[in-house]
Amino acid sequence: MPEPVKQYNTAVEATLEVIGGKWKPVILFFLTFGKKRNGELARLLPSITQKVLTQQLKELERDGIIQRIVYNEMPPRVEYELTPYGDSLKEILHAMCRWGDVHVQRTYGEQAQIVAHDRLSQHEKNI
């Protein structure tokens, strides 16, 4: 029997290879709420540079997690959304969010806030 081409210590490692890092899980979390344009993602993630956002989006697209939709309009419009394969990450991402809420409250109490709650609320109002 031939050796496997790639070897992982756990399946968690394989998952993190695709969605790991500082920005990918956050980008994907926001995409679980629907299509987003580049500018929308940039507003939801004010600390990310455009270069890094573009790179992360390209990697997620390459891995089949998101798709880039280009509309034949002037000016050109591009949106990003989860693929059906990427959609299978929703439960994981929302569970991470719930765990993070509990962790922040347990660790910092009222001394910390999760800004995304406010950004998502504001974003949903603007839709």
pTM score, whole prediction: 0.85
For residues 56 and 27, give the distance between their C-alpha atoms in angstroms, rounded to a whole number: 8
Structure tokens at 23: 């920005």
For residues 2 and 24, give the distance between their C-alpha atoms in angstroms, rounded to a whole number: 33
CA 121 from chain center: how many Å? Answer: 17
Q: What is the mean pLDDT of residues 29-42?
A: 95
Structure tokens at 32: 């679980």
How many residues comprise the chain? 127
pLDDT of residue 120: 59
Q: In what order do the strands lie in the sheet with 66-71?
A: 36-37, 77-82, 66-71
Beta bridge partners of 82: 66
Q: What rounded mean pLDDT belongs to the chain?
A: 90
